[in-house]
Structure 1
């Protein structure tokens, strides 16, 4: 754990003279080899000496035959990041050619190097990413090189790079410049690698290239169509985006089309093109598939000053299932409708629908309903979560059951009991009779719920205990 100086200590340190600081440093490193090494390696080496140390450390590590298990590998890559990758990045601007050569060598040999490590934790990625940072910075730092020279070096490396490929250009777009990226794009295209060329064209927003590629039939993935459509919409060429998206429908092979994204982009393009009535029809059709709120939002955007037709959307969601109705009503913050739905639905039917929603969603919805004054619905949701956790018959879920039970008690305060809604004592008693053999559950309930005691004769609950 890092120990930092407090404010007073920092003030004293800042007040020391140059000579006093030197005396302190010499005193600290006098009999402390670790402190001395940290001072020398971190602050008192020339760039050439740093590079020499990096090479020495890499060669030492590369010769090792030791196999690093999961946890050892984590520590190893953390150490390599500090001792090799970060120092390389530090001197990339001052020794660009040497850093380029060494970092490229290390990355090209990484596959072989990693054979002796359990890399399943992914810790190697941080190390490799910093190496890549150092390499790119060193290439760009070669200021006497023209853009084509830089582009050629980057292309030669990336074309066979096994881990990131053209994805790295998203990170280094500003550093490399649009001109360099355009040249790299052309190199990929000349090598008959249209996918990479299109990815880079989208990144640099080269609509002219994308238009020609589309006309030639070079698009090889639905994402190329989608990204091109987004650019057209942003460039106020929505009519072309509509034409592009409709052309996807005519293709015989639709296996790779994300229908949700396609619908969203088409409706957006129609709205931008002023075709609001058609956009509204498409929005209703798209909503009918999975009841995604984004399509209701697009419908309201197309409506402008007209009615948002919310009842029609609610009816569609209700027909698709109670869980869809609840999720949609939650998105549009109609908590009154959700409360009405929950309290009017039979317990078994409600439970059958709620299993399709995540527990975190239900938990949040319960809290929100309570805040909006719908205590009964909030309590019923918490009780569902209690029973769901218990019914899984795994003790690791019992703490959740206890927490949700406590919340249900809090929310039920002041609610009127009925045949349809058991009071807290009756509910706890029923729950205990059904699950009293789950011995790991009830101590957690006792611990969490004030006023609850569990003994040989059963349970006893008193709400208002201090």
Structure 2
């Protein structure tokens, strides 16, 4: 709220504000709830919020998608009020546990297509539990509470609580929690419940910095036909624990033909070889990563290894390589623009015009804007045309405002081009587009 409004309210005086709040409470239930919570004493707070949670769990009216945003705000406000009014950590934990227990009742009567209601449990409630549990010295009691919360997580909105475990449990209690789920995983007959237990162990193993435990849990949930991501995760766990040589051994298990995780693998190899003191292997990994995806970040990683003084030479050499490859590559075009190679970027666009796809507007529009600002108007026109045609061919009026913007860009910069290099001049192009799409009256009426 702007400070001037705050100052004006203060100037009204206590009695006027009290009257206004009473009037607000008489007009809407939300106003009454606000006042009730405002006036709560510490002794009343726990019982009041416990009843509020019970009421939420007992209600049976359906929350439609349109109502979900307001309902999410209501749940967030409830948890926020608990945090501000309930000072006793154990009372706060009890209330948060009670809130978790109504997740099924809430989610089964809600259209949570947006995921916002579920996020109140997985994010806000988890944060609130962590807030209180970090202040509570009764760690054995907290451990039991966590186990009970996770015992019946039908909607997978409670497990995020484990992400905070190291914030409120010491190492011994974290290990006890991991041991509990390890026993459950070994003895569980239900395959799904077993996988859930192993996933909990993975979360706890990361926080315990126990790569061997993580390895065991990760492999227990690994499909034999999809091992690459598991090997990468295990390598990361060993690297984090200060065992780069073991991390490397897991990376080496990944098939060199598997390109699905090439980016993550080579990033990890750069770090591993740096720890092992293998400069040649580290440089090799950095070059592979850079050649796979040329951008500022990967160039910087490479220069940190080979030396900043080689930047100009690398950019020049890579520019030559990029221009020799006829297939269009979005990251290569971006690389040329990021490094001031606009003449080469123009050549790249003109030579690969037929490969541009206007559907890729998130990438192409910034490139067009950059080329226009740098005075390279013909490649900008080529891109804007692709973007415009994509909008018109989509036949969806909600995107027309984008197409109108592109067409007006074309109108603006067309007179700045003296050499069209055998491309259709703007006036002829306009007539062609109009003839093909003249029945899209909604577009043309807005354009004019």
- Same fold per TM (> 0.5)? yes
Q: How does 1:39-50 map to 2 (within 5 A)?
A: 40-50=35-45
Q: 1:271 to 1:337 in 2, by over 3 A?
A: farther
CA distance in 2, matches of 1:406, 1:356: 16
| Among candidates 121, 134, 139, match of residue 114 of structure 2 | 121
- Between the aligned partners of 1:29 and 1:312, the Cα distance in structure 2 is 68
1:157-179 CA deviation, whole Å, 9 max, x = no partner? 23543424543333464344555
State the Cα distance separating 1:362 from its structure 2 match.
0.9
Instruction: List aligned pairs for 1:218-367, cutoff 5 A.
Output: 220=221, 225-227=231-233, 229-230=235-236, 233=239, 237-249=243-255, 258-285=261-288, 290-291=292-293, 293=295, 297-304=300-307, 308=314, 311-312=317-318, 315=321, 319=325, 321-324=327-330, 325-330=332-337, 332-343=339-350, 345=351, 350-351=353-354, 353-355=355-357, 358-367=360-369
Residue 456 (structure 1) aligns with: none
Q: Report which of the two structures shows the higher radius of gyration computed on alpha carbons.
A: 1
Q: Does 1:89 align with 2:83?
A: yes
Cα distance in structure 2, aligned partners of 1:276 and 1:29: 69
Query: After alignment, is 261-270 or 162-171 more displaced?
Result: 162-171
Any idea what the Cα deviations from partners look like across 1:375-394, whole Å, max 9, x if unmatched? Answer: 22222211222223223343
Query: Could you tell me whether the CA contact under 8 Å between 1:66 and 1:116 is conserved in 2?
Result: yes
The whole-number CA distance in structure 2 between the counterparts of 1:334 and 1:258 is 30
CA distance in 1, matches of 2:434, 2:201: 65
Q: Deviations over 1:212-261 (max 9, x none)?
A: 654899575555644554465567654443233113449xxx98973331
Q: Give, in whole Å, the separation in 2 of the partners of 1:64 and 1:215.
A: 44
Distance 1:318 1:235 in 2: 44
Larger mean Cα displacement after TM superposition, 46-55 or 297-306? 297-306
- What's the CA shift for 1:322? 1.5
Q: Would you say the 8 A contact 1:299–1:308 is kept in 2?
A: no
User: Which residue pairs with 2:161 in the alignment?
Assistant: 168
TM-score normalised over the length of structure 2: 0.77
Runs of 5+ in structure 2 lacking a partner?
Answer: 186-196, 223-227
Mean Cα deviation higher: 290-299 or 381-390: 290-299
The number of residues matched between the two structures is 422
State the alpha-carbon separation in 2 of the partners of residues 313 and 274 from structure 1: 31
Task: Give the structure 1 partner of residue 378 of structure 2.
Answer: 376
Residue 196, structure 1, aligned to residue 191, structure 2 = no
Distance, in Å, in 2 between the alignment partners of 1:29 and 1:8 is 17
Partner of 1:454: none
Question: How far apart, in 2, do the equivalents of 1:370 and 1:297 lie?
Answer: 27
Residue 392 of structure 2 is aligned with which of 390, 393, 396?
390
In the superposition, relative to structure 1, how do residues 62 and 198 fare at CA in structure 2: closer, same or farther (>3 Å)? closer
Whole-Å Cα distance in 2 between the matches of residues 314 and 283 of structure 1? 19
Deviation at 1:418, TM superposition (A): 4.2
Q: Deviations over 1:420-463 (max 9, x none)?
A: 144433332333344334333322332xxxxxxxxxxxxxxxxx
Structure 1 Cα separation of the partners of residues 382 and 415 of structure 2: 13
2 CA distance for matches of 1:27 and 1:439?
A: 56
**Alpha-carbon distance, 1:350 to partner:** 1.2
Separation in 2, partners of 1:357, 1:186: 51
Instruction: Tell me which protein shows more helix as a share of its residues.
Output: 2
* Aligned mates of 1:280, 1:30 — CA distance in 2: 71
- The SS at the match of 1:66 is coil
After TM superposition, give the deviation of residue 363 of structure 1 in Å. 0.9
